[in-house]
Amino acid sequence: MFLSRQPPVFLLLSMIVTSSCLATPGCRSDAARPGVPSEAHPGPGGDPKKEVVTPPPALVGGAYDERTTPVTKRLKTTEAKPRLAARWWMPRHERMKRKVASMAPTEILFVGDSITEDWAGTGIETWRRRFAGRALNLGVAGDRTQSILWRLQNGQLACTTSRWAVVLAGTNNLSDKDDDDDVAEGVAAVVHYLLDQCPSIRVIVMGILPREPISYLGSIRRVNEHLAKLDNGDTIRYLDLGPRFLTSDGLPRRALLPDGLHLSAAAYEIWADALSRFFDADEKND
């Protein structure tokens, strides 16, 4: 009987697949490639279940420099996302974006939710006396850290000459029952995004203010403990007005928090006084 010298078809196909796998990242035959952990070739420590992950290098001129926090797992509070369920929100964003594009550069940015937005309402008299002509209000009612991030990343940030940003955020994340640590991570993400994008800016990160119901006070304290650790004495400063907004019994002061959450005119004056200590010291150093 005559036997062909050509290899069987199945053998040829096997050789092609094997060759392709050796050159293709992510192929199942990665197990045989050098440096790729597998059950046959486990990573450090000998545990085949622990994958060796090499972190990406710092982005040149991008988001990760010496001022940013380490890359962490993706969280709801740190993943930039618009509030599409609120029909008014996107048109409001577009209006704010056009306003930012048309304005002259400003010295101070106020970034946050309704408490920041209400500088234009309850706090307007203080704003006019203390910040008019030098500050931009980027507060939007109801915003969480993730929607604030989205706004900043999508046209609401013009900060080439800005010297300060004031960030008050996170209380609406607590309303969503987000984990305390995750809320702190969300605020930190806003802070570090500002630092990354604005060449000369310094950030004042505000402690979350007391609110009702008082069951929130424990979470507020724990989040603020994390935020206080962001203060590096230079590009990030932490400011907590919480003790001034509480009675001797540890309850929110109605004179400053009339509805248990939002600020009175007197409370905005207290906030402005506290901020001016930073701004005035900065001007004296020029």
The residues annotated with a catalytic role in the active site are 114, 259, 262
- Calculate helix-pair angle for 145-153, 180-197, nearest 10 degrees: 20
For residue 167, count other CB atoms closer than 10 A to its CB: 25
Query: Under 8 Å CB-to-CB from 231, ≥6 apart: which residues?
Result: 205, 237, 238
Sequence-separated (6 or more) residues with CB below 8 Å from residue 21: 27, 28, 29, 30
Sheet holding 236-239, edge to edge: 135-139, 108-112, 164-168, 202-206, 236-239
Q: Are strands 236-239 and 164-168 parallel, antiparallel or unpaired?
A: unpaired
For residues 79 and 102, give the distance between their C-alpha atoms in angstroms, rounded to a whole number: 28
Q: Which tokens is 37 given?
A: 């952990």
Token pair in block for residue 204: 């004042």
CA gyration radius, the chain: 26
Tallying the residues shown for the chain, one arrives at 286
138 forms beta bridges with: 111
Q: In whole angstroms, what separates CA 250 from the centre of its chain? A: 29
278 close to 236: Cβ distance less than 8 angstroms: no
Q: Are 81 and 146 contacting, i.e. CB atoms less than 8 angstroms apart?
A: yes
